[in-house]
C-alpha cells in the first residue's frame, strides 16, 4: 500500500487459509481510536484487523495483509465461513450505535476510499466484494452502521452501486444469492440488508421498496 501508514503491530493473527476475495469494513464501537487500537493490540482480547482508520484519516497497520487478522468472528458470505481468511479487515474509528452513531468525518472516508481503491486494484476485486460486518453476521453485528456513507464509496467505484436492473424471485432465495446466510431468519437478514441498502428504514420488514432493492442487488450477484 502506497498510502502512508503507521505501524502498530498486533499479536492477534495467524496464517491465512484462503486468497483475499473480500474487503470487510467495520466500525470500532469504542470511545476513541486509542482505546480501539489498544484493544486490538492486547493479546488477551484476541481481536485485530489489518488496518484502523482514525477520524482524521491516519492509517494504522496492525496485521500484514498476507496474514489472517481476527476481525470477522462467526460469519458467512456466499457460503464462505472463514471470512477472516478470505478478507482484509478495516476498522473505522467510530463509537457506534451505543454512543449515538455519529457521522463519519469526510477526511476519514476519503482515506477509506483510497485504501479500498488500492486493495481492489491489487487483489483484482469487483465492487461487490466490499461489504460490511453486518452483512456477514446478520443479527450479531450492526457495523459499520446505517450512517456509513456507502453511496460515497459507490460513486468512487469502491463499492457496489444500486443496480438499475432487477431479478425476480423470492426474497429469501435472492438474499442468499447476494451472499447472506439465512440461518438467523428472514427478518434478521432483511434488517441487515436494509442497513446497507435502505438505511432510512431498518426494521426487517419486506415492504415493496425493500423487495425492489433486493431484486436490484441480486441482479448482479
Give catalytic status of residue 91 as yes or no.
yes
Q: Is residue 1 part of a domain?
A: no
Tell me phi and psi for residue 190, to 5 degrees.
-60, -40
Tell me the CA end-to-end span of the chain in Å, nearest whole number. Answer: 28
User: Does this model's pTM top 0.75?
Assistant: yes
Residue 90: strand, helix, or coil: strand
On the question of pLDDT at 46 being above 60, the answer is yes
Task: Show the domain range for 174.
Answer: 163-221
Query: Is 129 found in the same domain as 172?
Result: no
Are the C-beta atoms of residues 153 and 112 closer than 8 Å to each other? yes
Q: Are residues 147 and 172 in the same domain?
A: no
200-212: pLDDT as tens digits = 999 999 999 999 9
User: How many domains is the chain partitioned into structurally?
Assistant: 2
Give yes or no: residues 22 and 129 share one domain.
Answer: yes
Is residue 111 assigned to a domain?
A: yes
Q: How confident is the model at residue 3 (pLDDT cuts 50, 70, 90)?
A: confident
User: Choosing from 80, 91, 191, 215, which is the catalytic residue?
Assistant: 91
Q: Beta-strand (E) ranges in the chain?
A: 6-7, 13-15, 22-27, 51-53, 59-61, 67-69, 87-92, 130-132
Claim to verify: residue 144 and residue 199 sit in the same structural domain: no
Among 161, 181, 201, identify where a domain stops: 161
DSSP 165-207: ----S-HHHHHHHHT---TT-HHHHHHHHHHHH-TT--S----
Query: Which phi-psi region, left, alpha or beta, contains residue 57 (left: φ > 0; alpha: ψ -120 to 50)?
Result: left
Query: How do residues 47-71 score in pLDDT, each as one tens digit?
Result: 999 999 999 999 999 999 999 999 9
Tell me the C-alpha distance between 218 and 187, whole Å: 17
Judge if 107 and 210 occupy the same domain: no
Same domain, 147 and 82: yes
Integer Cα distance of 22 and 217 in angstroms = 17
Q: Are residues 155 and 178 in the same domain?
A: no
CATH number of the domain enclosing 144: 3.40.80.10
79, 175: one domain: no
Structural domain contains residue 56: yes
Domain limit, last residue, from 139, 161, 183:
161
Amino acid at each position: 500500500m502506497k498510502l502512508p501508514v503507521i505501524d502498530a503491530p498486533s499479536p492477534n493473527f495467524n496464517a491465512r487459509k484462503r486468497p483475499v476475495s473480500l474487503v470487510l469494513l467495520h466500525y470500532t464501537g469504542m470511545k476513541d481510536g486509542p482505546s480501539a487500537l489498544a484493544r486490538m493490540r492486547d493479546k488477551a482480547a484476541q481481536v485485530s484487523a489489518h488496518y484502523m482508520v482514525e477520524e482524521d484519516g491516519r492509517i494504522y497497520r496492525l496485521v500484514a495483509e498476507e496474514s489472517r487478522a481476527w476481525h470477522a468472528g462467526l460469519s458467512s458470505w456466499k457460503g464462505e465461513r472463514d471470512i477472516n481468511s478470505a478478507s482484509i479487515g478495516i476498522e473505522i474509528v467510530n463509537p457506534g450505535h451505543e454512543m449515538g452513531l455519529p457521522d463519519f468525518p469526510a477526511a476519514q472516508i476519503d482515506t477509506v476510499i483510497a485504501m479500498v481503491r488500492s486493495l481492489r486494484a491489487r487483489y483484482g476485486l469487483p465492487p461487490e466484494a466490499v461489504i460490511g460486518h453486518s452483512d456477514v453476521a446478520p443479527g450479531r453485528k450492526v457495523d459499520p452502521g446505517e450512517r456509513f456513507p456507502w453511496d460515497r464509496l459507490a460513486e468512487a467505484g469502491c463499492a457496489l452501486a444500486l443496480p438499475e436492473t432487477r431479478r425476480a424471485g423470492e426474497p429469501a432465495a435472492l438474499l442468499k444469492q447476494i451472499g447472506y446466510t439465512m440461518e438467523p431468519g428472514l427478518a434478521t437478514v432483511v434488517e441487515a440488508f436494509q442497513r446497507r441498502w435502505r438505511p432510512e428504514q431498518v426494521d426487517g420488514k419486506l415492504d415493496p421498496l425493500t423487495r425492489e432493492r433486493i431484486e436490484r442487488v441480486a441482479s448482479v450477484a
